[in-house]
Amino acid sequence: DAKTTQPPSMDCAEGRAANLPCNHSTISGNEYVYWYRQIHSQGPQYIIHGLKNNETNEMASLIITEDRKSSTLILPHATLRDTAVYYCIVSSSNTGKLIFGQGTTLQVKP
Amino acid sequence: KAGVTQTPRYLIKTRGQQVTLSCSPISGHRSVSWYQQTPGQGLQFLFEYFSETQRNKGNFPGRFSGRQFSNSRSEMNVSTLELGDSALYLCASVRMDRAGETQYFGPGTRLLVL
């Protein structure tokens, strides 16, 4: 599975958009980009995933560059409850295996 | 749909004992993955079961084992517990569709080994 690189921490003002970057320069053609978040001591929460196209759901948007070597998770209107560790993971299907890195700690401030 | 259920939520054991943790996946999901989370090592993949067969395995010693039943419920067992096995054990219910695999995590079982 390809390795991802994320900044260790980021701050965001409440109500503003939070843009979390992720580099995955060694991603292969059959690997998806997944985003999860983990609020302290809880199980990771699925946010969104994509293969090539940009994706949007009720929680967030995922922007994947055309060469697929990087992506950005966008939380359009961050709230204090979005404070969490955000994990960007690259994984192929049918493995049941996610490799978690250190993630980005997002602190949303009032 | 009900979410992923893990029991028990908290557990205290002593070194040398064994422990069994249980996971009930989301209805209709046939695959379950298990993970260990510690402050030092982060979230690490243990193994994955699909239709009662172990399909993938992480880099853990043989003391860690699991199984899956015909109703997709899964158990994991750790024998001869060590202090370093203290961790949050997470189970994920895996949905498979045209958009690939999506894992939905349970709340975890927090194990403390004394």
DSSP B46-85: EEEEETTEEEEE-S--TTEEEEE-TTS-EEEEE-S--GGG
pLDDT over 70 for what percent of chain B? 99
Chain B residues closer than 8 Å to A51 by CB: 99-100
Chain B residues closer than 8 Å to A87 by CB: 43
Mean pLDDT computed over B37-50: 94
Residue B1, pLDDT score: 64
Residue of A34, A42, A102 with shortest CB distance to B42? A102
* Token pair of B19 as six digits: 């422990």
Chain A residues closer than 8 Å to B43 by CB: 44, 87, 98, 100
Mean pLDDT computed over A71-86: 97
- CA A50, CA A57: separation in Å to the nearest integer? 11
Mean pLDDT computed over A75-92: 95
Chain B residues closer than 8 Å to A93 by CB: 96, 100-101
Question: Chain B, 44-103: which have a CB under 8 Å from a chain A CB?
Answer: 44-45, 48-50, 55-56, 58, 88, 90, 92, 94, 96, 99-103
Tell whether the model's pLDDT for residue A78 goes beyond 70: yes
**Is the model more confident about A19 or about B40?**
A19
Q: What is the pLDDT confidence band of residue A2, given thresholds at 50, 70 and 90?
A: low
Mean pLDDT computed over A27-54: 93
Residue of A42, A43, A96 with shortest CB distance to B31? A96
Q: B71: which DSSP letter?
A: T
Cβ atoms of B106 and B8 within 8 Å: the answer is no
Residue A93, pLDDT score: 72
Cβ atoms of B106 and A43 within 8 Å: the answer is yes
